[in-house]
Structure 1
Amino acid sequence: MKARKNKTIKPAVHIVQKELLQPYNPVSINLIGAGGTGGQVLTALARMNHALTALGHAGLSVRVFDDDKIDDANLGRQLFTTAEIGLYKSVALINRVNRFFGTNWKAETVRYEKEQLKDKDVASAVITISCVDTVQARFNIAEVLKYLSKNYGGRNHVQYWMDFGNSRTSGQVILSTLEKIKQPSSEIYKPIDNLPLVTDEFKELLYSSEQADNIPSCSLAEALTKQDLFINSALANCGASLLWQLFREGILFNRGFFLNLADFRTQPLKVA
């Protein structure tokens, strides 16, 4: 009787290209949305950039897109001050980060939509991070990124899209690729070259998690009825940890996660 051969199932992984791990120039990142989550993500990126450069990496070059201005309801939860009321969120946050960390990052006071983005060099970045609060905004971003993936071949050619989304006490962060990322052969792992777009794979989830009332809040108290005080910072820190793993370890077993602060539960989304 012939013995059965043991077939070991290789764990699926996504392996990051060397150009991101040991770049000659700072890695370009477009951060779309400078609200509750976007502001927290920007601070995390600034800390990450400082740490990466200390470790000999070329660091990050970030551009923030947001056409919204600061009002009273943004104070406290979004970490703006009374002196900043009336300023564009993107400008206020970028100025603050640049002064604190000595960076030269940029602010754009327009929405990230095809009609607004005439300069492909500005619209395109190796990594796009979206922190928007409507489904339509995500599909607008997807449209722009798909277009750039096919029509822009510059140094900042789009590769990854990390999307942050949340309801009142829950949310998700999902990493996608805009094209197949060349993977090395491996005897230990099963390298995956394509991570599905969030707008394709989780279309129904995006619509179900969208807040029913998208009218701007008039006060912090009203804003807190729509989003818990710490959901934005919790998502931002966990999502930044995934990005940090991408840069520091160069291999991803998870491409995102689902977070529920109501019962303190996090569910990873495996690479498959």
Structure 2
Amino acid sequence: MKKANKSPRPVVHFVPSELLQPYNPVTVNLIGAGGTGGQMLTALARINHSLIALGHAGLFVRLFDDDKVDRANLGRQLFTTAELGDHKAVALINRVNRFFGTNWKAHTEKFDAESAGNDDAFAATLTITCVDTVSARLEIAGILANQSKRHRGRGRPTYWMDFGNSRSSGQVILSTLDKVRQPESEQFATAEKLPLVTDEFSTLFKDADLNDDTPSCSLAEALSKQDLFINSALANCGASLLWQLFREGVLYYRGFFMNLQEYTTQPVKVT
């Protein structure tokens, strides 16, 4: 009589306890205040408000962007005519702080090696990137790797969530910047490291235009490059992944690919 084959244990990633029950707010660097970044900031504010209501210390967010609001941003991004000419980061942070009573910070410079990469004061436990170019992702990946090696105290860089999209499709990928110690489990196989997006999809990055960030001159031109709802759709699903990270402390999936034209979402499993 043959023995029944044991089914493989599901692979999961356990979130460290210092994110689930922190003594201080979890530091978050949100890089990019455009279509996706603006939507993501509001989602983070909702997550923060809900976490605090549940007894968690909440989040402390810094928003980095050196761009200013122009007319092509109105409608597709979360800005009004009264904010034309203002820095995007300042306009969005001021609005969130007034609405939610937070004390989050706006930084009107790029997150690069010169402005933030060599200063551990700018290190954050979670970094979220909503940038337009491959070159920016590659630079940020290098900065985060160096910060993770140097920084050993509170707020040590641990996770990186990257958002990217084309006109009607996009993806969100969660990575770890170093190995995250996992508990022993008989029920699950555990993954202590989630691959960096720049390593896992390096072939795609090599084929892409490193600096394709040509600004749009009108809303109509902007909509020809990116669909009206791709940014908000990605932000909401990405925020749902973060909510699971903070509330459940275990991840079966670490991202997804989305196609709004076909109304499909393909999850990326933890392996």
TM more than 0.5: yes
Could you list the per-position Cα deviations for residues 112-147 of structure 1 after superposition, in whole angstroms to 9, with x for gaps in the alignment?
111122663432100000000100000011010000
Mapped partners of 1:142, 1:211: distance in 2: 14
Letter in 2 for 1:152: H
Corresponding residue of 1:11: 10
Structure 1 stretches of at least 4 aligned residues deviating more than 2 Å after TM superposition: 2-8, 118-123, 204-214
Structure 2 counterparts to residues 187-198 of structure 1, below 5 A: 187-198=186-197
Corresponding residue of 1:205: 204
Mapped partners of 2:134, 2:117: distance in 1: 23
Structure 2 counterparts to residues 1-272 of structure 1, below 5 A: 3-4=2-3, 6-117=5-116, 120-206=119-205, 214-272=213-271
Mapped partners of 1:255, 1:210: distance in 2: 26
Mapped partners of 1:124, 1:5: distance in 2: 50
CA RMSD of aligned residues (A): 1.5
Letter in 2 for 1:23: P
Does the 8 A contact of 1:13 with 1:190 survive in 2? yes
Measured after TM superposition, the shift of residue 239 of structure 1 is 0.2
Partner secondary structure for residue 13 of structure 1: strand
Structure 2, unaligned stretches of length 5 or more?
A: none
- Larger mean CA deviation between 145-154 and 100-109 belongs to 145-154
Mapped partners of 2:221, 2:243: distance in 1: 34
Measured after TM superposition, the shift of residue 193 of structure 1 is 0.2
Does the 8 A contact of 2:12 with 2:188 survive in 1? yes
- Larger mean CA deviation between 217-226 and 5-14 belongs to 5-14
Letter in 2 for 1:239: G
TM-score scaled by structure 1?
0.96
Across the two proteins, how many residue pairs are aligned to each other? Answer: 271
CA 1:71–1:141 in structure 2 vs 1: closer, same or farther (change >3 Å)? same
- Larger mean CA deviation between 207-216 and 165-174 belongs to 207-216
Does the 8 A contact of 2:135 with 2:211 survive in 1? no
Could you list the per-position Cα deviations for residues 177-219 of structure 1 after superposition, in whole angstroms to 9, with x for gaps in the alignment?
0000000000110010000000000122345566995210011
Measured after TM superposition, the shift of residue 5 of structure 1 is 5.2
Mapped partners of 2:178, 2:6: distance in 1: 31
Measured after TM superposition, the shift of residue 55 of structure 1 is 0.7
Mapped partners of 1:69, 1:16: distance in 2: 36
Measured after TM superposition, the shift of residue 237 of structure 1 is 0.1
Mapped partners of 2:12, 2:55: distance in 1: 26
CA 1:207–1:79 in structure 2 vs 1: closer, same or farther (change >3 Å)? farther
Structure 1, unaligned stretches of length 5 or more?
A: none
Letter in 1 for 2:124: A
- Larger mean CA deviation between 203-212 and 151-160 belongs to 203-212
- Larger mean CA deviation between 209-218 and 110-119 belongs to 209-218
CA 1:155–1:211 in structure 2 vs 1: closer, same or farther (change >3 Å)? closer
Letter in 2 for 1:247: F
Partner secondary structure for residue 116 of structure 1: helix
- % identical equivalent positions: 66
CA 1:241–1:266 in structure 2 vs 1: closer, same or farther (change >3 Å)? same
Mapped partners of 2:18, 2:28: distance in 1: 14
Could you list the per-position Cα deviations for residues 205-255 of structure 1 after superposition, in whole angstroms to 9, with x for gaps in the alignment?
345566995210011011000000000000000000000000011000000
Letter in 2 for 1:186: S
Letter in 2 for 1:163: D
Partner secondary structure for residue 162 of structure 1: strand
Mapped partners of 2:128, 2:118: distance in 1: 18
Measured after TM superposition, the shift of residue 80 of structure 1 is 0.4
